């Protein structure tokens, strides 16, 4: 598949961004390969080693280790996050597990005579996601960067062979992160010979080999991932051996299934059946409120429907299932040997895992990120308006309704409200903790915590700066919170209500989602904008919602979009009046600590 070339070895300690590190290195034209620490051994092609992040603490007996004589390593080693702590520990440093957690944007002060920070400004904005930190270094290491909370944000050895970064340079929100990685590659003196221009041909060849003589079956959501997967399969084996199903679950966006049918026809896709299964899904999910249970039931139903349709086609056993799974989906499902599960992707439920284990699933996009899938879609000739569609989760609106089986809070969510309010006052904000919870990712672990809603207590022209700072500080200091949302007006009364997946409230969500997409369709910076229905009503009995416009390229990290405040107020007020709904909150949480979807 490839000739011998210089490469960087990335040791996977279970971090959510391990594959993103590999991706960034390849973007710099150096081949990279991921290794499990237990199976790693040096070879002559390896010109440098990177220790990834991970969910464990170096100080515990369960910590991930590597059997490597690093003191005599012939190649440079860079540690990132957990890898930074592990490297310092292996060289004789001390790691503390304390309260100095940092999630999201952080400013560091760098020593620019460092090889890693060469030709960079002294002050850098970087992306943090950690609990532990390096408290003390051995004599042969020196501090090269520090943040407000952590005195050792980066280090390097006197001989220029070992480097550590507490932050994540591989994440795009570390603004100079790619230059830092490039500087590490310069230290490694790795040849820049990796070229991915033949990637399309490699994937087509892989599909041909995996398909062999079998027919292929696809479940088409209508998103860019599944359409690119289908186009690749058509290029590989032609239309005749491919059967595709689009399942209208009742959780699609407004008029989406009808529009998709037209797109499929215009693209020349053949053998596609639209299956109306709204009643089936609503019946199976009746009374279900837990996010993981919803995802598992939806994934199981997809497989059952596929099996039923395959029975009608009389394909017997000579078929394989093709999925448009991309790498972030597998990461959040805990797919790498040491990664923590954030949430089960519907393509990773038990029934599908059995098919994967039996070798009957093809996932041509499983090593790609969203921006790479889009680029591949363009290469395959898909229209730009389809390539750039906002991502939409396979379970659809089912995971954008935060269900509740009770109208009473289930835990003491108010206990930290006084302290949080005091902290918000520093930013001219007022606020409180809400009695609902959402999924997040903090320090490479899944969290299921409360959001804080805040609003202005005085006029402030630089509201986004205040919200960004407040969001980071609140989430970093309160372990029961993983998300901050903003209200354009003061929040008075809010009451919990029972909320389930029912057609009436799904239709209400569909209407608001359609209106918000229409009002923000021309804003190119918005990569995706989930609209979330909450089990909360205002004092007039009107249901409350959250909009989450995010900026991202690969879904592994995301920032909230700083919408012009006048326009934000305009669209929120318009939606409230037109659809007669309650508060519409604006999510101002980065990823991490909040996942893009709330469930």
Least-confidence region, from 14-28, 76-90, 192-206, 418-432: 192-206
Q: Is 111 a catalytic residue?
A: no
Q: Which of 194-198, 314-318, 472-476, 513-517 has the highest mean pLDDT?
A: 513-517
Q: What is the CA radius of gyration of the chain?
A: 25
Least-confidence region, from 122-131, 271-280, 303-312: 303-312
Contacts 24+ apart (CB under 8 A), 410-417: 410/435, 413/450, 413/480, 416/478, 416/480, 416/481
Q: Choose, from 19, 81, 102, 450, the residue flagged as catalytic.
A: 81
What average pLDDT does this structure show over 171-180? 92
Phi then psi for residue 82, to 5 deg, are: -55, -40
Predicted pLDDT of residue 1: 41
Instruction: Note the pLDDT tens digit of each residue in 484-514.
Output: 999 999 999 999 999 999 999 999 999 999 9
What average pLDDT does this structure show over 217-245? 93
Question: Which CATH number does 417-587 carry?
Answer: 3.30.300.10
Contacts 24+ apart (CB under 8 A), 20-26: 20/170, 20/171, 20/369, 20/554, 20/556, 21/50, 21/52, 21/80, 21/170, 23/170, 23/369, 23/372, 23/554, 24/169, 24/170, 24/177, 24/178, 24/181, 25/50, 25/181, 25/185, 26/194, 26/196
Helix (H, G, I), strand (E, B) or coil at 85: helix
Architecture of domain 199-394: 3-Layer(aba) Sandwich (3.40)
Asked if 7-188 and 199-394 have one fold, the answer is yes
Per DSSP, helices labelled H in 91-213 are 177-188, 199-211
Does residue 535 surpass a pLDDT of 90? yes
DSSP state of 389: P
At residue 289 the predicted structure's pLDDT band, cuts being 50, 70 and 90, is: very high
What average pLDDT does this structure show over 199-220? 91
Distance CA 123, CA 109 (A): 5
Strands (E), 257-355: 272-276, 319-322
What average pLDDT does this structure show over 21-27? 90
Please say whether the structural domain 7-188 has been given the CATH code 3.40.50.880: yes
Order across the sheet with 123-130: list the strands: 31-35, 7-11, 46-51, 77-80, 162-165, 154-157, 141-147, 102-110, 123-130
| Whole-structure pTM value | 0.77
At residue 97 the predicted structure's pLDDT band, cuts being 50, 70 and 90, is: confident
Q: Is 168 a catalytic residue?
A: yes
Q: Choose, from 19, 84, 168, 173, the residue flagged as catalytic.
A: 168
Instruction: For residue 375, give both structure tokens.
Output: 């680029």
Question: What value does the mean pLDDT of the chain take?
Answer: 90
Q: Is 170 a catalytic residue?
A: yes
**Domains of the chain: which residue ranges?**
7-188, 199-394, 417-587
Q: Choose, from 84, 110, 133, 170, the residue flagged as catalytic.
A: 170
What average pLDDT does this structure show over 202-215? 93
């Amino acid at each position: 598949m490839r000739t011998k070339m210089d490469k960087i070895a990335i040791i996977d300690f279970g971090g959510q961004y391990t594959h993103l590190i590999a991706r960034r290195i390849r973007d710099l034209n150096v081949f990279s390969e991921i290794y499990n620490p237990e199976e790693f051994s040096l070879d002559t092609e390896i010109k440098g080693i990177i220790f990834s992040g991970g969910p464990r603490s170096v100080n515990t007996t369960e910590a991930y280790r590597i059997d490597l004589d690093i003191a005599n390593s012939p190649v440079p080693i860079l540690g990132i996050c957990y890898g930074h702590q592990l490297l310092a520990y292996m060289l004789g440093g001390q790691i503390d597990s304390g309260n100095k957690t940092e999630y999201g944007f952080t400013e560091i002060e760098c020593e620019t005579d460092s090889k890693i920070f060469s030709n960079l400004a002294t002050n850098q904005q970087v992306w943090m996601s950690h609990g532990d930190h390096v408290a003390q270094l051995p004599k042969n290491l020196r501090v090269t960067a520090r943040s407000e909370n952590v005195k050792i944000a980066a280090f390097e050895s006197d001989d220029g062979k070992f480097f550590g970064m507490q932050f994540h340079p591989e994440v795009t929100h570390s603004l100079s992160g790619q230059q830092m990685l490039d500087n590490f590659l310069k230290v490694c003196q790795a040849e820049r010979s990796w070229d991915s221009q033949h990637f399309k041909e490699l994937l087509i060849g892989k599909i041909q080999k995996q398909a062999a003589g079998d027919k292929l079956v696809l479940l088409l959501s209508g998103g860019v991932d599944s359409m690119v997967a289908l186009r690749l399969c058509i290029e590989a084996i032609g239309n005749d051996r491919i059967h595709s199903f689009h399942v209208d679950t009742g959780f699609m966006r407004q008029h989406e299934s009808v529009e998709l049918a037209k797109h499929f026809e215009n693209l020349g896709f053949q053998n596609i059946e639209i299956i109306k299964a709204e009643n089936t899904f609503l019946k199976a999910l009746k009374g279900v409120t837990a996010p993981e249970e919803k995802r598992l039931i939806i994934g199981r139903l997809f497989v059952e429907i596929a099996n039923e349709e395959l029975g009608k086609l009389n394909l017997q056993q000579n078929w394989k299932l093709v999925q448009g799974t991309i790498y972030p989906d597998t990461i959040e499902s805990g797919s790498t040997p040491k990664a923590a599960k954030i949430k089960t992707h519907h393509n990773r439920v038990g029934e599908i895992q059995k098919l994967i284990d039996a070798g009957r699933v093809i996932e041509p996009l499983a090593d790609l990120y969203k921006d790479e899938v889009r680029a591949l879609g363009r290469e395959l000739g898909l229209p730009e308006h389809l390539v750039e569609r906002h991502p939409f989760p396979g379970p659809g609106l089912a995971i954008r309704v935060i269900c509740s089986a009770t109208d009473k809070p289930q835990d003491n969510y108010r206990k930290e409200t006084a302290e949080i309010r005091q902290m918000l006052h520093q930013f001219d904000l007022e606020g409180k903790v809400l009695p609902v919870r959402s999924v997040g990712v903090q320090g490479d672990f899944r969290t299921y915590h409360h959001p804080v809603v805040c609003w202005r207590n005085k006029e402030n022209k630089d509201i986004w700066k205040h919200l960004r700072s407040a969001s980071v500080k609140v989430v970093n200091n309160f372990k029961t919170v993983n998300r901050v949302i903003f209200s354009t007006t003061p929040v008075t009364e809010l009451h919990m209500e029972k909320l389930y997946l029912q057609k009436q409230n799904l239709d209400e969500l569909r209407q608001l989602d359609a209106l918000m997409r229409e009002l923000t369709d021309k804003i190119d910076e918005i990569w995706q904008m989930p609209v979330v229905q909450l089990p909360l009503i205002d004092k007039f009995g009107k249901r409350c919602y959250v909009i989450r416009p995010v900026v991202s390229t690969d879904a592994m990290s995301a920032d909230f979009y700083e919408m012009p405040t006048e326009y934000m107020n305009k669209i929120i007020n318009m939606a409230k009046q037109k659809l007669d709904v309650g508060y519409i909150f604006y999510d101002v949480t980065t990823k991490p600590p909040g996942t893009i979807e709330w469930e």
